Amino acid sequence: MESLGRSIFSGIQKFTTIDDNGYVGMILFTGGCNFRCSYCHNPLFVLPEKIKFMEKKEILSLLEKRRNLVDSVIICGGEPTMHPNLINWIDYIKSMGFRIKLDTNATNSKMFKKIIGNKKVDFVAIDYKAPKEKYSNIIQVNFNVDIIIENLKYLVSSGVDYEIRTTIHPDLHSKEDIFEMINQLKNIKIKNYYLQVFKMPIETVGIVKDKNFDNNFFDDIKLELEKNFEKTGIRNL
């Protein structure tokens, strides 16, 4: 237990059937993020003034209680790879017999490659925020997007199951942006890519309008997705 270090978790969802390919699971939310995407629906796990870490013993007790009730533990955030002891937690949860899905922005190359290269998780979901040239507009910080792209290439070559996804909003993503993302991901041999239409939550990290795309906006986008990816779709339509 000591090897786990401190608790990295700020929230839980005890039950889900929609977050890990139909597996019955639970979600552990890590606290802290290196991005500030305005439409993010998890300010409680992103904004420092809102983050409250749970006690380690509470997390351990919860995992033990859910051991025979769920198959999967989904670790998301915030951004899990901000925490140096994330792998310790992954190893411990895995040792309890759980399947693990990791949601990440793929910015921490050293940790990402250690997790993926050693196949420490069963499934990885990565948010690809925008075309490379417009990434900073979405994440609201400066970051070298080439790092993310290199990590995506590493993931593709690893054999670990994954999906890449983009949450899109009419004020933030144009049709040209979407076609450019499709092209960029196709060129690095991504096979599984989904669009997720933004739906207004109770609270967001920044200021964002509750706004919908036009009815026929996705007609040609659907065709392009189906042409270029093995697993694809548009969620929340």
Query: By the 8 A CB rule, do 158 and 117 touch?
Result: yes
Cβ burial of 116 (10 Å; 0-12, 13-18, 19+) is: buried
pTM of the model: 0.95
Distance separating alpha carbons of residues 180 and 110, to the nearest angstrom: 28
Rounded CA gap, 52 and 61, in Å? Answer: 18
Kindly give the confidence (pLDDT) of every residue in the chain, 237 residues in length, as a single tens digit, with 9 standing for 90 and above: 668 999 999 999 999 999 999 999 999 999 999 999 999 999 999 999 999 999 999 999 999 999 989 999 999 999 999 999 999 999 999 999 999 999 999 999 999 999 999 999 999 999 999 999 999 999 999 999 999 999 999 999 999 999 999 999 999 999 999 999 999 999 999 999 999 999 999 999 999 999 999 989 999 999 999 999 999 999 998
| Tens-place pLDDT, residues 4-31 | 999 999 999 999 999 999 999 999 999 9
Cβ contact 75:102 at 8 Å: yes
Please report the domains of the chain, with CATH numbers, ordered by start residue. Answer: 2-235 (3.20.20.70)
In the chain the first and final C-alpha atoms are separated, in Å, by 44
Q: What backbone phi and psi angles, to 5 degrees, belong to 168?
A: -115, 145
